[in-house]
Amino acid sequence: MTDTAPHIEILAPGAYASLQDAGRRGWRRIGVPWAGVLDVRLMRIANTLAGNAENAPVIECFDGGLHLAARGGALRVAVAGDAAVELESGGERRPLAAWRSVTLNDGEQLRIRRMNSGRIAVVAVAGLAVPAVLGSAATYPRALLGGLDGRALAAGARLPAAAPSGLERVLGTPPADDDGPLRAMPGPQDDHFSSEALETFFSADYRVSAQADRMGVRLEGSALAHLGAREIISDATVPGSVQVPGNGLPIVLMADAQTAGGYPKIATVIGADLPRLAQCRPGDTLRFARVDAAAGGAAAREREAATRRLLAAIRPLAGGIDLAALYAANLAGDAVHALAPEYRPLN
Amino acid sequence: MTIRILDAGDAALTIEFGDAIDPRLLAAVNALDAAIAARQAAGGLAGVIETMPTFRSLTVFFDPLATSRAGLLAELQPLFAAAEHAAPPAGRRWRLPVCYEGEAAPDLADTARAIGRSADEVIALHSGSEYLVYMLGFLPGFPFMGDLPEALRLPRRTEPRVRVPPGSVAIATGLTAIYPWESPGGWHLLGRCPVPLFDATRAAPSLLAAGDRVRFEPVTMAEYERLAAALAAGEIDPQRWLVAATANETGT
């Protein structure tokens, strides 16, 4: 990459930032997890806002702190997720709404200051170019696959992108939070647990521990007793598998988790609800609700339909006025500042 | 053979053939896997994303937007018969170098003590058998191999290590394995193998496949280091440790 070609420079990765896409399919049989973005909906929204294909590679970041700059020319970036975003230009800082795309001129910076709710934001960059490894750009650091040299993003990383074209875009009404219990299907080893343990799993409060990342989310709360052996002959895991090791405390496996495991799996969180678990912060409490296969399938279709409605609601930002951001900041009625987002105070 | 259908969430089904580590179950798993691949090649089984064969089960990953559990199961059920009388997979035969010395073998002395044998006897036991690759998983290219000689069977370490170095050759329960990547791990580390087991730039990224057979050949630390350097420099092709293209051929 030449310094004069448009590219993103990572100034700080925050808590953890990595390149992801829809994930790496077809290699679980040789031990390669799918990896991929933890919340596919955020990736699809961010890419659509940026004018990319829905599954193009994106930057997924945790807990705020991601800080990047446009180099070598103007770029178009978009943030999906409930993030407090800040734009910095010539030493001046101003807040920017999430759920929109924006043009960063050469040298301008974008920072995810913090997450208002949730843990994960997704940043799309128009024309972001990352080579695919085994069919995907998703970073899986354990085996150095995807991303940049298989590693998480670090300060100084540079990602080639494209010059902006067309209008900036906005998602007027971001998806609403859903605080309902996480739906899970019993199995594949629910028969390794007593009916009391299953009852506990589907009714007790669990707390997200500090060990919650792209591999798995360890939960604290009521221990679940095994019937008989605490280990099984290793079999396949899936994203959403709820493993119960010897101490009885469940671990929900996420995108980067090992593909096989020797702990009985009491249940599996359905795909429609797994992104909500990924968004839980350490200390958050949650519950599980039992669903059957038919309800799991229906939930997948409902989530897809809702995602398609969100994508269809993305509109060009006419004349550069970000009405959604104005309403979100409760400044739409402010006669002085209504058309000048740069005067909005930091929140 | 009793087949059980287990739910693994809204996007996967596990078809389980039994509850043991047994080459006959592996044959059934691989036969169903092959039957599914053949149906897919013929344009069937829409919505199936991939399959994962394990010791005793096959997990079928599907897109719940493209098919349903009931619809998929109706298509899969006729294929189960293929698994019933399956022959073991042909596999290939490998002989992989292992250094059982010094820092490459951090648990050798403890293992010898635990089973009441000398370190040399442990090495002779471990390198004296040929192992079947039952499955790959846990980490990219990680082979679960069996069966260990009875004398070498130990439970996992009570304190798992936070860092197992890549190339570590390990044992636990009735199995042996090689860690392709640094990772946490609870197995006993008897040695180290210099041959990379996973390379994403190869058409077949995993060196080993389920059904292959592996024998270990003790090498000195000096030889291990020479091989590791030559492999890193690309001067040796890992295929050089392939002894026979099928396990039915006699190794040289």
Q: Report pLDDT digits (tens) over B96-125.
A: 999 999 999 999 999 999 999 999 999 999
pLDDT digits (tens, 9 = 90+) for A305-334: 999 999 999 999 975 555 555 555 544 433
Tell which residue, A159, A329, A205, A186, has the closest CA to residue A267.
A186
CB A201 within 8 A of CB A243: no
| Beta bridge partner(s), residue B188 | B171
Q: Which residue has the tokens 């009521």?
A: A222
Measured in angstroms, the CA of B6 and the nearest CA of chain A are apart by 5
Nearest Cα to Cα of residue A66 among A3, A124, A145:
A124
Name, in order, each residue with C-beta under 8 angstroms of B70's C-beta and a sequence gap of 6 or more. A293
A189, closest residue in chain B (CA to CA): B6
For Cα atoms A14, A16, A21, give the angle at the middle one, nearest 5 degrees.
120
Min Cα–Cα distance to chain A from B126, Å: 21
**Whole-Å CA distances, A98 to A164, A170, A308:** 18, 9, 19
Q: Find out whether B98 and B192 touch, Cβ atoms under 8 Å.
A: yes
Measured between CA atoms, the residue of chain B closest to residue A271 is: B10
Cα–Cα distance, A95 to A112 (Å, whole number): 10
Average pLDDT over residues B31-43: 96
Compute how many other C-beta atoms are within 10 angstroms of the C-beta atom of residue A316.
11
Instruction: Check whether A341 has a pLDDT greater than 80.
Output: no
From A29, A142, A236, residue closest to B181, measured CB to CB: A142
**Both tokens assigned to B203:** 């058409």
Banded pLDDT at A177 (limits 50, 70, 90) = confident
Q: What is the pLDDT of residue A2?
A: 63
Which residue carries 């839980």 as its tokens?
Answer: A280
What are the pLDDT digits (tens) for A104-153? 999 999 999 999 999 999 999 999 999 999 999 999 999 999 999 999 99
Cβ–Cβ gap B9/A297 under 8 Å: no
Q: Residue A334 CB: number of other CB atoms within 10 A? A: 14
- Sign, Cα dihedral of B29, B31, B34, B40: negative
Confidence category of residue B159, pLDDT binned at 50, 70, 90: confident
Token duo for residue A341? 């987002």
CB-count exposure of residue B98 (10 Å: 0-12, 13-18, 19+): buried
Phi then psi for residue A203, to 5 deg, are -140, -25
CB contact under 8 A, B136 and A240: no
Arithmetic mean of pLDDT over chain A = 92
Q: Is the pLDDT of residue A345 over 80?
A: no
Across the range B157-171, mean pLDDT stands at 93
B158 pLDDT tier (thresholds 50, 70, 90): confident
- Asked if residue A148 lies in contact with residue A130, where contact means CB atoms within 8 angstroms, the answer is yes
Chain-centroid distance, C-alpha B141? 8
Question: What would the 3-class secondary structure string for B161-193 be?
Answer: EEEECCCEEEEEECEEEECCCCEEECCEEEEEC
Tell me if B8 and A30 make a contact (CB, 8 A cut-off): no
Q: Looking at chain A, which residue has its C-alpha nearest residue B6?
A: A188
Annotate chain B with DSSP letters as a single string.
---EEEE-STTEEEEE--SS--HHHHHHHHHHHHHHHHHHHTT-STTEEEEEE-SSEEEEEE-TTT--HHHHHHHHGGGHHHHHTPPPP---EEEEEEE-SGGG-TTHHHHHHHHT--HHHHHHHHHTSEEEEEEE-SSTT-EEEE---GGG-BPPPSS-EEEEPTTEEEEEBTEEEE-SS-EEE-SEEEEE--S-SB-TTSSS-BS--TT-EEEEEEE-HHHHHHHHHHHHTT-S-GGGGEEESSTTSPP-
Tell me which of B4, B5, B10 to substitute to probe the interface with A (most A C-beta atoms closer than 10 Å): B10
Provide mean pLDDT across the span B186-201. 97
B145 is written with which tokens?
């191999």
Query: Would the pLDDT of A175 be above 60?
Result: yes
Pairing of β A288-290 and β A182-186:
parallel
Q: Which of A27, A189, A271 sits opposite B9 (nearest CB)?
A: A271
Give the pair of three-digit tokens for residue A172. Answer: 């007027």
Inter-chain contact A28–B137, Cβ cutoff 8 Å?
A: yes
Confidence of residue A229 (pLDDT cuts 50, 70, 90): confident
The helix (H) or strand (E) run that includes residue A47 is helix A40-50
Q: Among A87, A120, A47, A122, which residue's Cα sits nearest to residue A314?
A: A47
Q: For the CA atoms of A260, B179, A232, B22, what is the dihedral angle to 10 degrees?
A: 100
Q: Is a pLDDT exceeding 70 seen at residue B250? A: no
Predicted structure pTM score: 0.93
- Residues 6+ positions from A315 with CB-CB distance below 8 Å: A169, A170, A172
* Residue A135 to residue B228: CA distance in whole angstroms: 29
Q: What's the Rg (C-alpha) of chain B?
A: 20
pLDDT of residue A235: 96
Model confidence over A16-60: pLDDT tens digits?
999 999 999 999 999 999 999 999 999 999 999 999 999 999 999
